[in-house]
Structure 1
């Protein structure tokens, strides 16, 4: 069970202590298998930096639309995302690879970031990339594999804004979906709830309440395929709970740039036959777009036994 800052039970999404390894490996493996998500506590991203970054996020997303539209795509959806008929309350800014100093600089240049904003974004990018690499290493270690399998995989970065109003309370901020990549680290809004994860055992959505200073980690579709079904992707959504602006920061470990995604040989045996054919991240991303299947259903089209 997850415990909030006051010591009371808040939700059932597991909390993983980043200072508790190797003792946390079993709990991490179970969280990936049963939930496909978990919260990390006692990480190395300074809380002061997290607060500073949220200030910058609000400043950037409050800019005029013509400025935000300068944030252009590298791959579809990696730049500015305007409100749409499917998600009319949502908009975002982003960059393709937060681990690249050049990409971070381009992002700042596109938005005419101030020197202070650039400093905060640069420090946050460095720390969040270190964290996502550290988590991926722990995930590999939990399966008895090399810790360094994901070092060259790009990490997309996205800052999100939900323009909630009195008329939209009770509606969906972002529709039910899974993430297409390997894993996502989310710094959620510290005061405004609305994030919900699906409990696979019941099919019900569980609210994930704000817990300042922590991150939520979601496993995406590539994690389910790469792990040969040992881990699961998690369906999630954002609901409008109150008439206030809600912001969050997401970092996505996508997948290899060119190589195919497939389960390592160590995860394939007579009891665990290969579940999915090899595919690249770009092929899978295009498949999700073309089929308009955003909640993991497109994985079934790549089953090895189909």
Structure 2
């Protein structure tokens, strides 16, 4: 079927001149809502150390892991539950901050080496996320804006418990990310990530390969761009009976300020689509209405609000 033979773009961040690279990032973000990057500047050795650290931390007793509570809504430890029975994860807000990383590590009794790895990784991946967002903003001719440079990052470090009897089941349900942009370090040994082709509705596998990172656009990117950017729907499926370890960095909009599109994105042919909304408000909508795959945007879509006579 159409779309199945298409390949998610892989972009070499060192090979292409800036202007052309920015254009490719924009095209992939509008068409797919995702792409992969190589030569991204995050050392492979650091990625390997981070995976080992995450694996070790997930071996902590459940009662210790439960100490990782929310800093912002939905940012703490997520245990295995009925909705996601094969998946658990920690959340760390602003892992590049030694204070935040030390607080997290104190609760999990992490070693000094693990603390150092977490901070180094947080700075490297967070910096990459902000640089990619900057390139995306500049691709629209909005050069010079500091839109994303002060936005916070939230990290989610996850473990999937895949077994022979769970092959073919969802490891993580179909969803969109609530933030602006996500940088994902997948597991080179275990795949399973699939994205929805917006054109056909087909699922497209994202194959992980060494030293390659996957980038997803989230709900806030769609709001900020007045619908130009695609908030990609994705899921994780159990393909084989192995433990899967992943690390996600979510670049968030400010939790205390509303996001709305720049004036350049709004005109007679492109009327404003969404009501201004903050990251915190959008998270509360997702939680209140139990929406996962972008449906929460209905509650800030102006046409929907007008049709339903909702203020």
Structure 2 length normalisation: TM-score? 0.93
Q: 1:150 aligns with which of 148, 151, 162?
A: 148
Matches within 5 A, 1:122-201: 122-145=119-142, 146-201=144-199
SS of match in other structure, 1:80: coil
SS of match in other structure, 1:67: helix
Q: Deviation above 6 Å: which 4+ runs of structure 1? A: none
Paired position in structure 2 for 1:27: 24
Paired position in structure 1 for 2:116: 119
- Inter-partner Cα distance in structure 2 for 1:88 and 1:73: 20
Paired position in structure 1 for 2:11: 16
Report the alpha carbon displacement of residue 76 of structure 1 after superposing the two structures with TM.
2.8
- Inter-partner Cα distance in structure 2 for 1:297 and 1:248: 25
Q: Tell me if structure 2 keeps the 8 A contact 1:99–1:154.
A: no
Paired position in structure 1 for 2:286: 288
Q: Tell me if structure 2 keeps the 8 A contact 1:188–1:247.
A: yes
Report the alpha carbon displacement of residue 11 of structure 1 after superposing the two structures with TM.
6.3
Q: Tell me if structure 2 keeps the 8 A contact 1:162–1:173.
A: yes
Q: 1:101 to 1:266 in 2, by over 3 A?
A: farther
- Inter-partner Cα distance in structure 2 for 1:218 and 1:50: 19
Q: 2:39 aligns with which of 39, 42, 62?
A: 42
Report the alpha carbon displacement of residue 274 of structure 1 after superposing the two structures with TM.
0.8
Report the alpha carbon displacement of residue 39 of structure 1 after superposing the two structures with TM.
0.6
Q: Does 1:271 align with 2:266?
A: no
SS of match in other structure, 1:305: helix
Q: Deviations over 1:263-289 (max 9, x none)?
A: 011211122111101111111111011
Report the alpha carbon displacement of residue 238 of structure 1 after superposing the two structures with TM.
0.2
Report the alpha carbon displacement of residue 45 of structure 1 after superposing the two structures with TM.
0.5
Paired position in structure 1 for 2:307: none
Structure 2 residues not aligned, in runs of 5+: 305-311
Paired position in structure 2 for 1:208: 206
Q: Tell me if structure 1 keeps the 8 A contact 2:73–2:280.
A: no
Structure 1 residues not aligned, in runs of 5+: 1-9
- Inter-partner Cα distance in structure 1 for 2:65 and 2:41: 30
Paired position in structure 2 for 1:7: none
Q: What is the total number of aligned residue pairs between the two structures?
A: 298
